[in-house]
Amino acid sequence: MDSNCKHTYVLIAGAWHGGWAWRDVIPGLRDRGHAVTAPTLTGLGERRHNGTDDTNLSTHIDDVIAHIEMEGLQSVTLVGWSYGGMVITGVAARIPDKIKSLIYVDAFVPEDGKALVDYIAAEQRVQLDLLMNEGKSLPPIPLDVFGVTEPSLVEFVTPRLTPQPPRTFYEPVKARPFPPNISVAYVYCSGYQPLFTSFYERLKGDPRVRTAVIDTGHHCMLSEPLKTIEVLSDLA
């Protein structure tokens, strides 16, 4: 592939997950000539021992900004899956000059001043509030809620899930309107009881936002990696 055609992807996983979630997507994108990294956020995955009581959304935004700066990355295609949408929104607001495109994969696309819990159903928020008030980490949601039932995927994902630092769900994000030089795309996973329909419905009517649909569960990078690779390549 001509070097001018290559993209630089930074892949951000969702709550309870680490960079390991992209295991099947990373080699496929690299095979197409792209540069790809997938940093794990503080307190999760292989960095689960680094989390503290103060770990919050800003911590995770700082993680990604530091990664981009330390790796000397420019013109980044920043991909956020699920909770990762909160993170990439904050990153784009802080370092828009380093971002070429944002791709939200079945993700939260927050408005300025909103926290993740502001998008959670009332009955679920009550449960989260109890844990938050008790200073407890947030346990993973059962995988079948996300449409993950295939035994090999359940076996792979389950032991790698880690509790989520609670402040990450409660800190409001500082978001800015997307600059005209940053392209925006949304990938919607339609093959389960969808949790992100409202974001997809809102964005698909925006002429600036390109959209794609993958008929699979929430974990598209693991259940449909080839399709995910194709979509990410098309939307970069």
Q: What is the CATH number of the domain that holds 150?
A: 3.40.50.1820
Which tens digits make up the pLDDT trace of 101-155? 999 999 999 999 999 999 999 988 999 999 999 989 999 999 999 999 999 999 9
Beta strand residue intervals within 137-231, DSSP E: 183-189, 209-214
Output phi, psi for 22, to 5 deg. -95, 15
Query: In which residue are the tokens 């080699």 written?
Result: 27
Catalytic positions are 82
Domain count, the chain: 1
- Whether 25 and 229 have beta carbons less than 8 Å apart is answered as yes
Q: What is the domain extent for residue 23?
A: 3-235
Output phi, psi for 121, to 5 deg. -60, 150
Stated pTM of the model: 0.95
